Homo-oligomer: A and B are copies of this chain.
Amino acid sequence: MTVATERKIRREDLYPSRVHDVPALQEREDPVVYGAEHDGPLRADHLRRYEQFGYLVFERMFSADDVAQLSRELEDLRSNPEMADRPEAITEPDSGETRSIFAVHRLDHPLSRLCTEQRVVEIARQLLGGDVYIHQSRVNYKRGFRGKEFYWHSDFETWHVEDGMPRLRAVSCSISLTDNTPYNGPLLLIPGSHKTFVSCVGATPDRHYEKSLKRQEYGVPDDDSLTRLAERGGIEAALGPAGSVTFFECNTMHGSSSNITPFPRSNCFVVFNHVDNALVDPFCGLAPRPGHIATRPPVEPIV
């Protein structure tokens, strides 16, 4: 008997996953857009599109000069030998190269200011309807030639089960520092998938996160559910030149293919969560993941 099938579903668990032996699709219980047009910079048509598709792409929100500066800072951070040994750094299994660095917003480094960039935070506040905090931040570097794929997943599924995020009231923001073309492993999304929660099968082993950040094994949606979502919504990519910004709802099913092109991809990824949706005990019943992966209460809104 696995951990998952043993555990009782808590009364406040509106999105149970890794509990049952068969996958299930469930309509979301929460709004998609919490704010209104007058609450921030997004126009009514932006809000409608986000409501319908679960994501928005803004081309060139950052200038070429901004991108050049941010890229230098990213390289400075990645090449810092002290960084590579910290738990915040995730390395490529084969080469040992640093692929991601978590909790950038807590670093004493110029790049950390990007996480609280006003233009971005204002959009997050509008979508989520008020005060937000940073649930997670990281920079990602996906190398060329041998950039690995990332299989389909809903971020919320993991944040709910492993971190204890109660409701669907978070938005991810990806600030691209390189061009996203169709063929260098861009973010793929299933439009409209944010409206359906896919309950995954299987248990969550203890200290799972140490491996899962390199390779996914749990919280993986099943083939039939993905087929249904993709037949309904299709598959789109978040494309655009460096400096483009993608906002996607925390339950939008996404992934990326491998990158065999010579062109690497890097981005800064920030997740905003509404302060009323701060983490509770993880719904899998295990110990929570460390604070650099998921900010735990008490939380302070970004001012």
Contacts and interface: CB of A to CB of B under 8 A. Distances in A.
Number of copies: 2
Contacts of A152: 260
A164 interface: no
A183 B261 contact: no
Interface stretch (A77-85, A100-108, A109-117, A223-231): A223-231
A226 B257 contact: no
Nearest to A186: B183
Interface residues of A, number: 26
Interface in A232-280: 235, 237, 255-263
B145 A257 contact: no
Contacts of A261: 188, 230, 235
A149 interface: yes
A185 interface: yes
Interface in A199-234: 223, 226-227, 230-231
A301 to B, nearest CB: 36
Contacts of A149: 149, 257-258, 260
Interface string A14-29: 0000000000000000
Nearest to A223: B145
Nearest to A237: B183
A34 interface: no
Contacts of A255: 260
Nearest to A184: B235
A262 B182 contact: no
A262 B183 contact: no
23 contacts: A144-B223, A145-B226, A149-B260, A151-B260, A152-B260, A181-B235, A182-B182, A182-B183, A182-B237, A183-B188, A183-B235, A183-B257, A185-B257, A188-B261, A223-B262, A226-B262, A230-B261, A235-B261, A255-B260, A256-B260, A257-B258, A257-B260, A258-B258
Given A223-B262, A235-B261, A256-B260, 6 more contacts: A145-B226, A181-B235, A182-B182, A182-B183, A182-B237, A231-B262
6 closest A-B pairs by beta carbon, nearest first, are: A182-B182, A227-B262, A257-B257, A258-B258, A149-B258, A257-B258
